[in-house]
Chains A and B, each alone.
Chain A
Amino acid sequence: MHLYTAFGLNFHSELELTPLKTAEATNPDVRIVLGPVSHTGLDQPHVTKPFCQTAPNQLWLDVPDIARFQVSDGNMIIVDPKPDADPQSVQLFLLGSCTGAIMYQRNRLVIHGNAIRFGHGCVIVAGASGAGKSTLAAAFVKRGYQVLADDLSVIDDHVRVQPSYPQLKIWRDTAKKLDIDTSPLKRIRMQVDKFAFPLHEQFYSEPLPIKAVYILNPHNQPDLRVEEITGMNKFQPLKNQSYRGGYLEGLGLNAQHLTLCASLANQSRVARIIRPNNGFKINELVELIEDDMTPPLTAAKHD
């Protein structure tokens, strides 16, 4: 049995989850066990898709050639690996879709984005797949910033990001752009050109309140700018950045999820970062956020 701590929870896992921080013996919040999972899905699914079924407190997932998973009651994941599946692949879906489902079942908000520490708080950088989130997180790390979470930012009921685990996943192109040598890094899966980048002391392991949520919006124009979103308008963009929002309806959590989005909207700034989809410098983007996060100096009075 492996004992880990991540997302503010203790995990007892029959499978090794290499990127997670190990923990002392404690009562588990979540158990991950190997066992048979139905080939056909849930008994009474509320939402049925080709590879995923959901019902209140239940999620069934069948990832072809990798594993079937059943995620229940916010505290149990049963894993049924496919015959030739490699452990890295199984682990990726455990730490992605299954973790997202567990957190939703525990009534947490999960934003698809990274969390970067800024002083006594953090900022979340969200955006669609391919919008540049992981590149930006790696660029912050190169500048000495600490990271709380990569890809999934789990938000607790005090509207804080709960730290995930000390690793970024970076594409070969990102590494090249940021002069990161990939030769000592392990691939996260043999099938893709993406590497596990250990964060060591640049992982921040305490929960932090959210100061701002930035949503990356690439466009085909040359300008790079921040557009503040205010009032009621913050709500829908936050909802759209929820991780695997498709799970919520079948889990019966749409109403609770709206309440969680509203409390984040009340507590945090929300802004879009409009950026060119090519030909831009990643450093400019980092500096744009640094400037935006710097409180304006109070103008000296001249009488």
Chain B
Amino acid sequence: MTSRPNIYWLASYPKSGNTWTRAFIANLTHETAEAVDINALHTGAIASGREWVEAALDFDIDELSHDEIDALRPTAYRWLSERLDAPGHHKIHDAYTFLPNGMPLIPVEATKGALCIVRNPLDVAISFANHNSSSIDQSIGHMADSTYSFCAKSGRLFNQLRQQLLSWSEHVTSWVDAPDINKHLVRYEDMQQSPMETFTQIATFLELPNDKQAISTALAHCKMENLQAQEALSPFREKAANTDTFFRKGIVGDWQQTLTAAQINQVIDDHREVMARFGYLNEHGQPSTLISLKTPTA
């Protein structure tokens, strides 16, 4: 099989700005003047989408175990990548993991690059609790759990394949430190606080139009208040069923109003090293209230 790396992965832990990034890409590549419908963000299938993977395999995977399916995924992605005429942009929440045979789940030969989007875990904990209809303490627990996965039940089938997220720290470092793939790291906080600069870098990395006009128009179309306004008019298909809205607050530093001291300490205890690495703790080991705009080194 020839190698044709054509997939840009939009890789993030859930609730870290992935959908916002997809809305930006959709608007950037959209040819008309209006904002793209939030229910038409056709940037590419999610990596764990059953239909996308099954189209490559062409046999039923309903009766295979999660591990058996994972063993097939690299072959599927290689074939899907070869078939793309232009680079594709595919969201992924799976951590960058390796199969028992030592090969990565996400094959190097299919990967043109990975945009790694990282957000302060203190803010992720709040949004993730809302998404899962769980308490914040539960979401803090999930984020510390090395075995945490989406769609991992053995007693039923979902339209998404199992996604092994690992802990928040493990997820972030699995992608940022993934060997042999081309990567670009962005922080959610930089996307919020210096959007022109950060999104221009994103567009450049993803080989998308990166002139000032195009970036600023796309950013205007996917401002949080615009996404919220669209969702108020017509429900967002990707929203979890038990939650009211998907586009909730999206603000940086919500944890300062929402988390208790005990919760803040728990998140720091669980993720100290990785938080410090990405600028979420200051030199005294305290959570940064004003996140420096200096992009940390990967």
> Which of these, A173, A189, A278, contacts B241 with CB under 8 Å?
A278
Among A92-100, A102-110, A282-290, which stretch is in contact with chain B? A92-100
**Would you call A82 an interface residue if the criterion is a C-beta within 8 Å of the partner chain's C-beta atoms?**
no
Residues in A with CB closer than 8 Å to B157 are: 129-130, 171
Answer yes or no: B55 CB below 8 A from chain A CBs. Answer: yes
Contact segment of A32-40, A115-123, A190-198: A190-198
Quick check: is B242 within 8 A (CB to CB) of the other chain?
yes
Q: How far is the CB of B84 from chain A (nearest CB, A)?
A: 15
A172 within 8 A of B: yes
Contact A128 B59 (CB under 8 A): no
Using Cβ atoms and an 8 Å threshold, which residues of chain A touch B235?
220-221
Query: Which residues of B (53-77) have their CB < 8 Å from a CB of A?
Result: 54-60, 62-65, 68, 71-72, 75-76
A87 to chain B, nearest CB (A): 14
B241 surroundings in chain A (CB, below 8 A): 220-221, 276-279
Determine whether A184 belongs to the interface, using a CB cutoff of 8 Å to chain B.
no
Q: A50-B1, A189-B63, A221-B235 are in contact. Are A246 and B55 (CB under 8 A)?
A: yes
A50 touching B240 by the CB < 8 A rule?
no
Among the listed B64, B79, B155, which residue makes an inter-chain contact with A176, where contact means beta carbons less than 8 Å apart? B155
Q: Is the CB of A50 within 8 A of B57?
A: yes
Interface residues on A, range: 35 or more
Contact B59 A50 (CB under 8 A): no
Question: Whose C-beta in chain A lies nearest to the C-beta of B239?
Answer: A220
The smallest C-beta distance from B71 to any residue of chain A, in angstroms, reads 7
Cβ contact within 8 Å between A192 and B154:
yes
A130 and B56 contact, Cβ closer than 8 Å, known pairs A92-B63, A173-B153, A277-B241 = no
* CB neighbors of A among B74-119 (8 A): 75-76, 78-79
A172 to B157, CA, bound (A): 10
Contact call A97/B60, Cβ cutoff below 8 A = yes
Contact B237 A173 (CB under 8 A): no
B158 interfacial contact with A, CB 8 Å: yes
Is A63 an interface residue, CB under 8 A from the partner?
A: yes
A-contacting residues, B150-164, CB 8 Å: 153-160
Residues on B with C-beta less than 8 A from A63 are 59
- Chain B residue numbers with a CB within 8 Å of A218 are 159
A162 within 8 A of B: no
Q: State whether the Cβ of B225 lies closer than 8 Å to any Cβ in chain A.
A: no
Per-residue B-contact encoding for A55-87, CB less than 8 Å = 1, 0 else: 000000101110000000000000000000000
Q: Is A52 an interface residue (CB 8 A)?
A: yes
How far does the alpha carbon of A279 sit from the alpha carbon of B241 in the complex, in Å? 9
A244 within 8 A of B: yes
Any B CB within 8 A of the CB of A214: no
> Quick one: which of A50, A173, A192, A244 contacts B75, CB cutoff 8 A?
A50
CB-CB nearest in chain A for B51:
A128
Given A172-B156, A192-B65, 13 other A-B residues pairs in contact with their CB atoms under 8 A: A49-B79, A51-B57, A51-B59, A51-B72, A97-B58, A172-B154, A174-B156, A192-B63, A218-B159, A220-B238, A246-B55, A246-B58, A277-B241
Contact sample, A vs B, 5 pairs, CB 8 Å cutoff: A50-B78, A51-B58, A52-B58, A92-B60, A193-B154
